[in-house]
Structure 1
């Protein structure tokens, strides 16, 4: 590798200033250090130590890496797509992922896996190679294959798709590379990429893109089993200060869209064009709002997204007549004219470009500071792509102004998807957010709805909740018989839409005329408990639950000890009050009669496992036979059963505390709700529980627990008593599916304490908590 002075290096630089090295921030410092080192040697080849130079993932990157690992290890998926906005470090993610795979191979005594990194531009390949070398602390890693450069060793190759095509990729063995990474994967529709991807059969395929949804109809996700492995959400990127903050204004424009035709999940394009083009009243609203929301339209750099070429041309004409230089561009505009239009916008020779089916992706103009949504965008992905045209950070751009002109929409239009994409909130919480003015946004961001727009959005949100059952019935009828996971994926509904109180997948199928099996008089009660399994995310528990729910499933007495524990966890999940049974055998015998219920429980368990986001880690030592897995999620009933605390005399439904001591396990379990509401907790139970670091957790005892008490002494001296401390945490008490499950943070060890009645104790976790839980638990502090 050549540094900027032309010197080559192949070993390591050791300097404490690089202890928390960030490639994007410290690359120049590394170059300077290398240059200094090369100046101290008479040879052009220098030896520099990077031993203390570790590239550490930022929190959002750590979470993404964990999700990729879960896809592979939990779900056995080895073709994975990473979706993240430009500038958020997709290549760093890929390099860190390779480092983890390499380290695991070396630990097994195997050679480092071979790698092929593919892109379509020389600049991307050179930058990517540099990133890998920095992340791996190996200045000799990788070879380039583009622009005349050819590899010699063919172990770790950074190649252009053009060079591979010229080489004839089909002439190399299909398993030539263990790992293939394809950057800008949205180009995979091109024949050159298709030929490459169809031929190579690596152990791991990783796709990187910022724009997963193409406008030409090509199904990008078909390469990845129809799913995205990991996506950097907008609010995470904003919170990490990777994108420019936005001020979003929802503005009522008075147009009536509720009478337009709705076809295949969107408005009729021709009718939209007729409604908007030549609509002087609406264009006057647009002009007024632009002039009102921006301090000086003459310095504005705006993109306006229109329904058609005619609409774009009409808006450009309207702005020009108002003295605001503007131009219309579309897919029909020549490349040279489009490029010149972008230069004119950058140099402020024009202040607005109005586009039709253009600029959703592929636009690299960070200076864009205003986005005008001049048509309803049904897809939240396309909406975010359009918003993203202005989210790139740029000098002199403190904020992106987004003006969304809201008409009276049909009930099928999904405002909830749009605002969930903007905020990360669940649909249940959106109504309160709209009413309260969106108080919990990332720093610097605002969402402001005028009074009429607020009424329109609230009405739409309520309509999505109130009238959705009949819509789902129609959707299921139109799509035909399918499983629960396929239905949720294809329709975009949420699992809670199907399993909300009083609803079930079984009743939806019956209302839609789909076949279901029969049940008994207990069916209605049990169907209300199906959602209690919507969190199951560890393979052993799911496997046992499935066995027990099969037609030919084993009887309780036939199970091994660990499986019996899982069976008791399932039993109390279905019957928290014991169900009136006197034995588990009787309960499962009764469940055998509920064929429809068992079918639905299987569907929900499969759905939950398919969406598992963490690796479930077995316990070791004295707790090695416990049915709990670290970083898996559990409802209260499962925790009590797993710890041999729940039985027919002490039923889970009677347990109201946040602490318990399991005598059979000699273990204390703490069930922590991080965000406590005054409605659910009294002043004496509003304990301050939060994360200090990924491995340190601050927890408060019950208010009557003193240091001198038996319980207090057991907590503080648990090692002397060989008592295990087990911590379970959840962010909120409730979710859209009802009671929120707890994430098992694992065993913990006493570190320090302060105070008395309550005692504030700092616990050291055996394993660092997952990134998303740490972020939630640290925010509470």
Structure 2
């Protein structure tokens, strides 16, 4: 055993005692007598480690094939364990260790016990957690790791009672687990207890009401200004004795359950019985605490309203500077230009700040007193106004730039933010081909449109920057021809999701039984008139859409939504 200066809690064996004697000239050791209460746990751990080493190092006779070796080795391991058990029974007769506890040959694990009728009919599917019930582990929601949401679903399937302790209960988290919670409470009515809070107004009333509707027991701390409850934990009681728990950072929300940067320890009663026993006791104390009271809708709403009123409503000044992912794109552009590539396409997911990147890139070009002329092209007035504000922040000039959209016309014309509709052939004919040093085109995937092609063919800028989230076109045409078939920098949606830059989304595919096989399909699209007649002939499909909406969103009356329709009348 290698000894270094530090803290220990090791029973002193003959080997360790001898090692300490050899170090006596250089180090002083601190010893303490093992108490009678500590002895069973400390000494059994020593026995466990020794038994594990012995079982792992069992050797069988040479000259047998591999399968026979494995069988012989397995049989010898079981015999060793049975001999140790028999010896313990003799040494401590009052412990009640008898031959009934010996392991049978060949050894087997009991995995489940079910009603005989269910076994014969096959009416109950055996669902087990991914981790063995006897194993503790750390769940981190990593790409190649176990996600807590998936594990909670599996744990619920075999639990007899469940206790949940969370600061926040969100509709998104309830919706994810609703099928499994519903099945559990149908099998074990009243078997779910939940403690939560109104702290920061984060808990959704509709989620609490959904849980109550399923038959859960819920208690709430109505103090929205402070909370003593920061713990997040699940306890899955099993009458079989194989109780498990999850303790960590995850509230009941979709982000926490699916892909948030969360750490949760899975505890097993086999190797962490004392911790789970403390969990049971502490949860019971919280449940009986006067701070946690039954859910009352009016009181809950009042508590969350008070919290909303406390929120700071003052606007805060924002200094425009790149986030790390934006700086990476700016660095990539600089490298490309250093190699003579002045026409560059940036592919970045919506929400990652393409316009900020373009604005900071332009601000960098102005260093040293330079003032390159600029044309920024987009297809909507709102985007142009927002882009102009972003550029003004980047160059720290509130008078920078002019709009060319709607009734707005530039006076100076050195830095123009123009709609693509305004850049028609007649206007292009009045503008010199080298009028702009820098041309930035937003939503560059539209570049095969006639007006875009005319604009790109007309101007000869020193620097061309294309921005898009989706360079791939359904018609098969490539926009890369304007950039020497290169993409300067990419930050795709999946990358942005992994980096936590955009909000993870959930996709629900709802089958509506609509048959499109009779609708004419040509030129890459269905016949609009036929689609309209099919979809609007009655209210059946519309009612199905409304039902699905109510099933999957927290409050259908308060959501902001986009509806993509065949026609609008």
Give yes or no for TM over 0.5: no
Larger radius of gyration: 2
Question: Hey, which of these two has a bigger chunk of strand by percent?
Answer: 1
TM-score (norm 2): 0.37
Comparing both chains, which one has the higher relative contact order based on Cα–Cα distances under 8 Å and sequence gaps of 6 or more? 2
